[in-house]
Amino acid sequence: MADSLTLEMADFEHDVLTGILSEETGKPQPLRFTITVQFKPIDYYDPETPLDASKNYMDLKFAASEAFPEGQHFKLIEAVADHVCNTLFMQDDRVTAVTVKIVKLALSERNEKIGITLRRERR
């Protein structure tokens, strides 16, 4: 079995233009993101290992916030998740797989978590 490293950002909330209902279009929807990235690790991490030997956790946050094109409306949250995956694959060739879980917070009436999970492997 090959070594792998998993980086994770959990429960990050950001407003995204998404939705297909008339009351959803034109205004940002609050989404909660959990993103995991599978990464090829180096052979050994000693106490002096520099950051470029891994992946900056802030790249995950960027992919779920600032990387969205301004004014872009995503009809489906699956498209939002795909955009996050593609952003992370483009950032770093060492990323082997990305899993994006998105919960639509505006749909919750009794604290249920309604959303999707998309996993993509590098093609």
Phi/psi for 3 (5° steps) reads -70, 150
Query: Rounded to whole angstroms, how far apart are CA atoms 23 and 19?
Result: 9
CA distances from 10 to 3, 52, 64 (A): 23, 22, 11
Full residue range of the structural domain in which residue 16 is found: 5-121
Sequence-separated (6 or more) residues with CB below 8 Å from residue 5: 38, 39, 40, 41, 54
For residue 13, list its beta bridge partners.
Answer: 32
Q: Whole-model pTM?
A: 0.91
For every one of its 123 residues, what pLDDT tens digit does the chain have, with 9 covering 90 and above?
Answer: 788 899 999 999 999 999 887 777 778 999 999 999 999 898 999 999 998 898 888 999 999 999 999 999 999 999 999 999 999 999 999 999 999 999 999 877 788 888 999 999 998
What total number of domains does the chain contain? Answer: 1
Residue bearing tokens 């998740």 = 81
